[in-house]
Each structure stands twice: as structure tokens, then as C-alpha cells.
Amino acid sequence: MRKPIYFDYSATTPCDPRVAEKLCQYLTLDGEFGNPASRSHPYGWDAEKAVEEARGHVAALIGADPKEIVWTSGATESDNLAIKGAAHFYSRKGKHVVTCKTEHKAVLDTCRQLEREGYEVTYLDPEANGMVDLKKLETAIRPDTVLVSIMHVNNEIGVIQDIAAIGRITRERGVIFHCDAAQSAGKIPIDVNAMNVDLLSLSAHKVYGPKGIGALYVRRKPRVRIEAQIHGGGHERGMRSGTLATHQIVGMGEAFRIAREEMPAEAERLRALRDRLLNGLQDIEEVYVNGDLAHRIPGNLNISFNFVEGESLIMALKDVAVSSGSACTSASLEPSYVLRALGRSDELAHSSIRFTLGRFTTEEEVDYTIGLVKGKIEKLRELSPLWEMYKEGVDLNKVQWAAH
Amino acid sequence: MAYSDKVLDHYENPRNVGSFDKADNSVGTGMVGAPACGDVMKLQIKVNEQGVIEDARFKTYGCGSAIASSSLVTEWVKGKTLEEARQIKNSQIVEELALPPVKIHCSVLAEDAIKAAIEDFQGKQGAKENDDASSSAARVEYEFGGKR
């Protein structure tokens, strides 16, 4: 067993060896290194062919036409291009955007930028289980609303939003619908037409492809217009200039092709492993799953161990690579804004750990981790004054803490 | 984040973990921090008749640096008079554990915990005197920093 055991597949995934092998064929003199934009020789033609084949694989995974795929540097750029691009293009219609407080920072920070430019943004509160209330969303849409941006799957808690239902609302109200699908692509089915999504952000490195490449789906029927954010040679039909990174694009295409083929079997395997992990950890007293368990991708388990602080637990679990809902490891001492938006207490938010399982996770790794976590939780609770008080029957909510 | 060897040592082998009886008059208990802030420290000192800290215990909810800071101060306060213990500064903890700037609050909390424990202990001596008129000797004893 390789240690630390990797349980952070939502942060990034390793390249699938099949992806890496194919990608390497598009770099050197012996391979296809040409510029896909070169029209005058076979180097360019062959590279272009590879790029278009990859475009087809990406389109196929989401039920789109290849012409609707625009290559970007990743999901962050796709979110920026979609949100700023659509808001700018349709600014004469109105300057109001609707999103949710649990969106990724790439969406929230882009919305903040629009606010600085004079737009108004409504940030919806999710329900306690992480789901967006459709009625609240519908009421938030105004005559001057141009865009709704709701993610498909949340990166921290893995909760799946009802994108098809949201798409019905936005289509009916004539509002552009952007969906960040960085965490859902390759994990659960996506059909941009059935879901009435107009703009959809994708990333390669969450799907066993390389980092630094992503795509934005831009609907053609009915046509959705966006203003370019990067200007230059007019690549990607003017929506995103810059020489195409053939090797990365080929890698993303291969990763998405494999994902489409293996998704059903992989999802089932991951769900079984995740449930095994959950069942093992639920033996421990005072554990809470964050976010809805039924509407959740198979590989995610976000769980709080009450009375144990997240960063110290991560330190104790040094044989396991996980991430903490507490941002204590960074400069701020804020607990996860996603868990806070769900109404989780600060204590539980500080005590959360995100396990994300993936293609190379094994049963042996899961079983080892269950044993390890149990032991470390016991040790840290021995150290915890809060656990001692809880065991003595003290209601921690009634204690007057000397906050600092 | 990379932790210093000393933080790792205290985190992996914390010294003096546990609790004394809060009600014991020779025990001072300091509890500082808040769960909402991500750290709570409980430091207890056991003071002998000479006003010297004979023993100390801690329990901490918090990050590795918070655990290490409180573990360290339990070692430092032992054998010190209350007045000497009160002189322990958070900057000394920062230096000893090589804490990075984002973890300085852990050392501040540990310093506060010592002061809170001393205050609790001294408060108890005052209360005892109110309960029992014959303990004026004890009061004098503690008012002068525990020295007879």
C-alpha cells in the first residue's frame, strides 16, 4: 500500500496512464507537435485532427455538438469566460446575476468582480443539506436578470444540484444558465440538452486528465453569445484566443473518452467503497455527515468528528492525504464557507474532513483508513477539553467562551 | 504546512495530558479560547503550600501548534512559583517551538491559559478565607506570592 493513501481526488486526480501515454505522443519531433492553426502543412493538419477528435470526446460526454466546445486553461477560466462573457454581452438587457453561496471561488470571485463593475448579484442560501431551493431561485430571478450560475456538484460536500429543474426555470424565464461541472463530469451523467444548460465549465485534471486544460460548452441552439475575455488571433471562433495546447487537449479528450466508457462501473465501485468507509467511521460516537447523502456523487464523504479540531486530525492522519473543511492551514482561521452556508456550527465546521475516493482507491486502503481514523480520534479526544465536558454532560452551547 | 520538529514531538508525545479535580483548593484551572475559533485550552496547575507549582495538566482542542504550545507550558510551569510562571511570555513559546506567524495566536492562548489558571487558584484562596476566618495565615501566604 502506497502511503500517504490518496483520498483527495476532488482536489486533483493523477493522469490515467492511458492518458499520459497518448499525451506524450504530441510533444516531440517524432510525434505530432504542430500548431493546429497552421493551415499550410501536414504538421498543422495532423495536430488539428487530433484536437478535433478530442473535442468530439469532450462533447460526447455531455451530449453536446463538438462545435459547442471552447478550449480553455481550466474550469476557473471557463467560469470567468462564461460569467463575465455572458454578463458583458447581455448587459443592455440587465445587470443582475443569481448564484449560490456554496459555489466555487472561481464563480463567487468572478461575481464579486461583476459587482465592482456595477452589476447586482444575488447569492442564494442553500438548504441545510446543501441543495438550492428551487422556489427561492425562481423568486430571485428578476426582469433584469441575465444569468443564473449554479454548480452541478459541490467540491466540498459532493452534493448534486437538480440542474434539469433549474434549467427548466431559466429557459422559461429567458435567462442564460451557466453550470460549473468541474466536479461532476465523468462521475455522473450530464446532458446539456436535457438539462437546458447554456454554458458549462469543464476541467481535465478532475477526470484523470492533465492540469492546465479545460473547456467551456457554449450553446449554439438557441445561440448563446459571450464576450471574449482573452483577445488575440481569434482562435476558438473568437471566444478564446491563444495557440491550442495540443498535447493537453489530446489528454483531456482521452480522459473524457475513458470516463464516458467506464463511468457506470466506476461509479458503482466507488459508491460501494465510500459506503464501506462511511459505515466504518459511523461506529465512532458524535460523527456527522455534511451535506445530503442521497444527492451526492459516489466518491465523496465529508464528515465532522465533533470535539476534534480538523487540522490536528489531518496532522494525525499523516498516512492519509485528505483535506480539511477548516481553512486553519491557510493564513485565515475561518472554517469552510460552504459548511457555514449550510448552517453547520463553527465547531462542526472546524472538525470536518473531506475524503474523496477515485479510480485507484482500493478496499484495502479504505479498511486501513477506518482503523487509523478510529485510533486517532480516540487519542485526540483524550486530549480534548470539549470531549471531557461533553462526557460530563456540559452543554457546550451554554458555556460563556472567552473568544479571542 | 510544515511543522517544526519540536511541535511534532509535543504533538506526537504530549506531556502532562489529563485533568486534576477542579474543586481541589490546591488546583487552579484556566480555560481559554472558544470552539468557534478552532481552539480551546484547559490548563491546570497544582500548587503546594510554598506557592510553588508542583504539577500541571492540560487538554487542548486545536491545531498541532496549539497542542504543542500547551504541552510545552505544562513543562515550563512545573517547579516555578506563581510569580515566576506569570512571567512566561508568548514570545518565548514562539521561539522555542519555531511557530510561524499564522500560529502566534496559539502561543498567546497558552500564555493566557497560565494567567487564567493562576487567577483561578488565587481566587480560590480568597474564597476560602471568606468561608473560614481562621485561614488568614493562608491569605497572607498567597498574597505575598506564596512565600512565607
Kindly determine whether residue A315 and residue B3, on different chains, have CB atoms separated by under 8 Å. Answer: yes
Closest to B55 in 3D by CA, of B83, B29, B32, B75: B75
What is the residue type of B87?
Q
Q: Could you say which of A307, A315, A403 has the minimum Cβ distance to residue B34?
A: A403
Q: Which helix (H) or strand (E) holds A137?
A: helix A134-140
In which band, very low, low, confident or very high, does the pLDDT at A311 lie, cut at 50, 70 and 90?
A: confident
Using a CB-CB distance cutoff of 8 angstroms, which residues of chain B are in contact with residue A402? Answer: 31-34
In tens, the pLDDT along A223-270 reads 999 999 999 999 999 999 999 999 999 999 999 999 999 999 999 999
Interface test with B, best of A304, A305, A307, A311 (most B CBs within 10 A): A311
C-alpha cell recorded at residue A212: 492546465
In which band, very low, low, confident or very high, does the pLDDT at A205 lie, cut at 50, 70 and 90?
A: very high
Closest to A200 in 3D by CA, of A221, A220, A215: A215
Using a CB-CB distance cutoff of 8 angstroms, which residues of chain A are in contact with residue B9? Answer: none
Using a CB-CB distance cutoff of 8 angstroms, which residues of chain A are in contact with residue B100? Answer: none
For A202, the 3-state DSSP assignment is strand
Angle between helices A42-61 and A246-281 (to 10 degrees): 30
In which band, very low, low, confident or very high, does the pLDDT at A328 lie, cut at 50, 70 and 90?
A: very low
Residue scoring higher pLDDT (A144 or B141):
A144
Using a CB-CB distance cutoff of 8 angstroms, which residues of chain A are in contact with residue B36? Answer: 345-347, 350, 401, 403
pTM (two decimals): 0.89
In tens, the pLDDT along A101-158 reads 999 999 999 999 999 999 999 999 999 999 999 999 999 999 999 999 999 999 999 9
Owner of C-alpha cell 496559539: B106
Interface list for chain A against chain B, based on CB atoms closer than 8 Å: 307-312, 315, 326, 328-331, 333, 335, 345-347, 350, 382-388, 396, 401-404
The whole-number pLDDT of residue B132 equals 53
Q: How distant is the Cα of A307 from the closest Cα of chain B, in angstroms?
A: 7
Cα of A133 vs its chain's centroid, Å: 20
Residue scoring higher pLDDT (A350 or A365):
A365
The whole-number pLDDT of residue A152 equals 98
Kindly determine whether residue A311 and residue B31, on different chains, have CB atoms separated by under 8 Å. Answer: no
ipTM of the complex: 0.84
Q: How distant is the Cα of A108 from the closest Cα of chain B, in angstroms?
A: 24
A100 in catalytic set: no
Q: How distant is the Cα of A369 from the closest Cα of chain B, in angstroms?
A: 19
Residue A82 CA to residue A111 CA, distance in Å, equals 11
The whole-number pLDDT of residue B35 equals 87
Residue A159 CA to residue A323 CA, distance in Å, equals 17
The whole-number pLDDT of residue B2 equals 75
Confirm if A168 and A148 have CB atoms less than 8 A apart.
no
C-alpha cell recorded at residue A345: 456550527
The whole-number pLDDT of residue B146 equals 34
Degrees (nearest 5) of the Cα angle A332, A338, A342?
130
Degrees (nearest 5) of the Cα angle A252, A43, A255?
10
Interface test with B, best of A309, A314, A329 (most B CBs within 10 A): A309
Q: How distant is the Cα of B117 from the closest Cα of chain A, in angstroms?
A: 14
Interface test with A, best of B17, B19, B40 (most A CBs within 10 A): B40
Residue A321 CA to residue A301 CA, distance in Å, equals 14
Residue A172 CA to residue A194 CA, distance in Å, equals 14
The whole-number pLDDT of residue B144 equals 36
Residue A179 CA to residue B130 CA, distance in Å, equals 69
B37 in catalytic set: yes
Strands of A32-165 (E only): list them.
Answer: 69-72, 96-100, 120-124, 145-149
Q: Could you say which of A315, A383, A404 has the minimum Cβ distance to residue B60?
A: A383
The whole-number pLDDT of residue A345 equals 86
| Chain mean pLDDT for chain A | 95
Q: In this structure, are strands A145-149 and A199-203 parallel, antiparallel, or unpaired?
A: unpaired
Which residues 6+ apart lie within 8 Å of A6 measured at CB?
A14, A321, A358, A360, A361
What is the residue type of A91?
S
Residue A75 CA to residue A89 CA, distance in Å, equals 20
Residue A43 CA to residue A56 CA, distance in Å, equals 20
| Chain mean pLDDT for chain B | 87
Residue A65 CA to residue A46 CA, distance in Å, equals 21
In tens, the pLDDT along A29-51 reads 999 999 999 999 999 999 999 99
Quickly list DSSP for A58-82. Answer: HHHHTT--GGGEEEESSHHHHHHHH
Degrees (nearest 5) of the Cα angle B40, B46, B48?
160
The whole-number pLDDT of residue B137 equals 38
In tens, the pLDDT along B57-105 reads 999 999 999 999 999 999 999 999 999 999 999 999 999 999 999 899 9
The whole-number pLDDT of residue A347 equals 82
